Amino acid sequence: MKANQKKFILGLLILILGINNLIGQSEDHCGTDENLKRLKTLDPKLEQKMADYEVQIQEWIANHPNLRTSQSPTITVPVVLHIVYKNATENISTTICNQIITVLNQDYGRTNSDTNQTPAVWKSISANTGVQFCLAQRDPSGAPTTGIERRSTTIANFTTDDKVKFFAQGGLDAWDVSRYFNIWICDLTPGLGGYGEFPTGSLSNTYGQVSDYAVVGTGQWVCTHECGHCFNLRHIWGDDSGACTGSDLVADTPNQANNSPGTCPTYPALDACTTVAPGIMFMNYMDYGGNSCKNMLTNGQSARINAVLGSAPYISLATSSGCMPVVLMANDAGNPSIIRPNGLVCSTSFTPVVQLRNWGTNTLTTVNINYKIDSNPITTFSWTGSVGSLTIINVTLPTMTTTAGSHTFKCYTTIPNSTTDPNNANDTAYSSFNVIPLGQPLPFSYGFEPTTFPPTGWTLYNPDAAVTLARTTGAAKTGVASMWFNSINYTCNGCIDEITLPNLDLTTMSSPLMTFQVAYRLLSDPTQPTAWSDTLRVLISTDCGITWNQIYNKFSSALTTIIPAFSTTPFVPTAPDWRLETINLAPYATSANAILKFRTVSDYENNLYIDDINIMASTGIKNIGKTETLIVYPNPSTGNVNLYSNSVKAQKIVVINSLGERVKEFVLEFGSNQLDLSDLSDGFYFLNGQNESGITTSKLILNKEK
């Protein structure tokens, strides 16, 4: 077996087994392994994903044997620097930001003045990777940018928990990771210089690297090192702490026992794994050690970098237009989006609202906004006002009338500031919308048995085009299918996905009630200080989606339906693992056009399932005392009866037949309960509820032939 093959197989086995030894000590160490351990606790399949991706990388390298490892720059990656600071010192200057890019370009292009210090024995394998970096010239919306954004935070310092990557947690959200390489600069905990996120074959919303503000700029190699991790380079010593069995999965780097110390060794430097000259490659950027002796990456490392940027999904960084400057004209108006009509419209008469953006350098004072529905004639609205360069405003257009059904709305701008628009590429926007002036009557029932998903008349919202709500035949409360959220394979924290039901006329039944079956299990222990959980919410709108009211919200132990509440095994529920949920829609019973939607908020936990959605009249409602309610449904019933009580006290329920005989007794707890009466004969029954607040009687009709 060839030495490089053995090195690859050994390293791959270590990766699959998940051997993560403590990284060597240094004044400012790399926290990439610590971050990797944390990500593995969130995703039990992460090791396998990385192993599978490693196979893909090796195949790419094998299929590109003529890759030029010493080449002029061919790939330019757009970078956005997120500066998160608590004080002025941490708010690094624009000069230092530019130095970060310069250092990256010198290190990855091998144009540093100290490359002459590379030992002669390794100069032939020292690589210009062909990768360069630029501060982004255009932001995700296409507007000019410096590629630098700043935020003052109250967080004293950050660690490897990725909080710096989320605005809601004191940091800054990533720009589109498929188009920009994100670098966060902040105050990290003492002793932590930075960390990167390894590629796994699928883009995550945290992909990028973090560096401490004090170790970036001229003469610093931390950003180069952490970027290396993001492009699939491992520590040169293989993270085996002296065992000499680890591997960085690169054939042309010497075996090394451990990381180099904070000062530069004298060449040749020998250790227990490489005992003869030329020794270890302590001048490699993927080692530790002093700044003054770092000056090289190898051809093998360059091949791994190019394999990442040359294949899906990270190739989009190499083809991104983020480095392309935006050329602004003097007078240029654009219509970047249509707010209304878009999606659902609940009336045949509506008022369009569009966004108008001034892409020109001059203040925009006049522009024509042209719009139409389907193939109808164009209507022109002459707008006047004052909009500064690159500023966006909302413009309300005159009310329009159309018919029920599906339509297309087109809008475009002309004649900005009474001149010809020199750039027509940003003028036009389209939207599709569906007019439903009246919701469908109740009852409503859906169990996900049809194969079409989303079902006809439903709307799926999946903004990141990643894991989302879907139909599955892997589990069901009834039938063979249900709707699920595959969170255990969704590497995202805080991402929202939604599915909206068809419009419903809640006035067609008195006291409407919504029920559905849910099954959920956590991935991590909810009793630990750091507790994660996906969240399930149900929302309702009675004004066509302009405003929403939350009517159901559960997470963690309140959402779980099985004991124990967590498991690292992907959750697939069996019959006892489902729970019936009940939502009283009586407060919205006057709405003839109500919209309901399920919302999932991901926290990278375990799988969630939903089945048997029903919206019906809640007959058999009785007041218990002044505030307590007992609901019996469906009524008539085929034998499987649902009962709901908002009483905090348990009730004794006695089932009495038409002859006055007690045929069953049970205890009704707070919330939703299920009762199997299928063993009783068809006919009339009375359900007597008793507790300290009093007695109530509800009539139930059994009709098993229904």
- The string over 212-238, giving b where at least 16 C-beta atoms fall within 10 Å of a residue's C-beta and e elsewhere, is bbbbbbeebbbbbbbbbbbbbbbbbbb
> Are the CB atoms for 39 and 160 separated by under 8 Å?
no
First-residue to last-residue Cα distance in the chain: 72
Query: What is the mean pLDDT of each successive set of 10 residues along the chain, which is 706 residues long?
Result: 35 38 50 91 84 95 75 83 97 98 96 94 94 96 94 95 91 96 97 96 93 95 97 93 88 93 90 94 94 94 95 95 94 90 90 96 97 97 96 96 94 96 92 90 91 92 89 94 93 88 91 94 86 93 92 95 93 94 93 96 94 80 45 77 65 72 74 77 76 64 72
Backbone angle region of 142, left / alpha / beta, with phi > 0 → left and psi within -120 to 50 → alpha:
left
Residues written for the chain: 706
> Are the CB atoms for 651 and 645 separated by under 8 Å?
yes
Tokens standing for residue 300: 């093998």
Of the candidates 686, 630, 628, which has an alpha carbon nearest to the alpha carbon of residue 513? 630
Quote the pLDDT of residue 17: 38
Q: What share of the chain is helix, strand, coil (3-state, %, to 5)?
A: 20, 35, 50
Whole-angstrom distance, CA of residue 618 vs CA of residue 509: 9
Of the candidates 307, 300, 308, which has an alpha carbon nearest to the alpha carbon of residue 126? 300
DSSP state of 157: -
> Are the CB atoms for 566 and 524 separated by under 8 Å?
yes
Residue ranges, comma separated, of all CATH 3.40.390.10 domains in the chain are 3-252+295-318
- What architecture (CATH level 2) is domain 333-435? Sandwich (2.60)
> Are the CB atoms for 50 and 234 separated by under 8 Å?
no
- E strand or H helix that includes residue 34: helix 32-42
Q: Give Cα separations from 249 to 12, 31, 283, 464, 519 (angstroms).
A: 8, 19, 18, 32, 42
Task: Write the class of the CATH domain 3-252+295-318.
Answer: alpha beta
Whole-angstrom distance, CA of residue 495 vs CA of residue 468: 10
Strand pairing class (459-461; 535-541): unpaired
Strand pairing class (209-212; 181-186): parallel
* Rounded (10°) angle between helices 46-62 and 299-309: 110
Tokens standing for residue 614: 């029903």
Whole-angstrom distance, CA of residue 380 vs CA of residue 149: 38
Asked if 34 is an active-site residue, the reply is no
Neighbouring C-beta atoms of residue 240, cutoff 10 Å? 20
> Are the CB atoms for 208 and 230 separated by under 8 Å?
yes
Phi, psi for residue 256 in degrees, rounded to 5: -140, 140
Which residues make Cβ contacts (< 8 Å) with residue 465, sequence separation at least 6?
A: none
> Are the CB atoms for 174 and 210 separated by under 8 Å?
no
Amino acid at 555: F
> Are the CB atoms for 251 and 62 separated by under 8 Å?
no
Label residue 202 exposed, middle or buried (CB < 10 Å: 0-12, 13-18, 19+).
middle
Select which of 34, 47, 226, 628 is catalytic. Answer: 226
Whole-angstrom distance, CA of residue 53 vs CA of residue 51: 5
- The string over 294-306, giving b where at least 16 C-beta atoms fall within 10 Å of a residue's C-beta and e elsewhere, is bbbbbbbbbbbbb
Helix, coil or strand: residue 161: coil
- E strand or H helix that includes residue 97: helix 94-109
Q: Which fold has domain 622-702?
A: Immunoglobulin-like (2.60.40)
Q: Following DSSP, what letter does each residue of 403-452 receive, concatenated?
A: -SEEEEEEEEEE-GGGS--S-GGGSEEEEEEEE-SSPEESPEEE-S-SS-
Whole-angstrom distance, CA of residue 530 vs CA of residue 162: 13
Of the candidates 580, 581, 526, which has an alpha carbon nearest to the alpha carbon of residue 551? 581
Whole-angstrom distance, CA of residue 389 vs CA of residue 391: 5
Chain position carrying tokens 């991790």 = 229
Of the candidates 339, 343, 345, 348, which has an alpha carbon nearest to the alpha carbon of residue 400? 348
Q: Which fold has domain 440-617?
A: Jelly Rolls (2.60.120)
Phi, psi for residue 9 in degrees, rounded to 5: -65, -45
Label residue 275 exposed, middle or buried (CB < 10 Å: 0-12, 13-18, 19+).
exposed
Residue ranges, comma separated, of all CATH 2.60.120.200 domains in the chain are 440-617
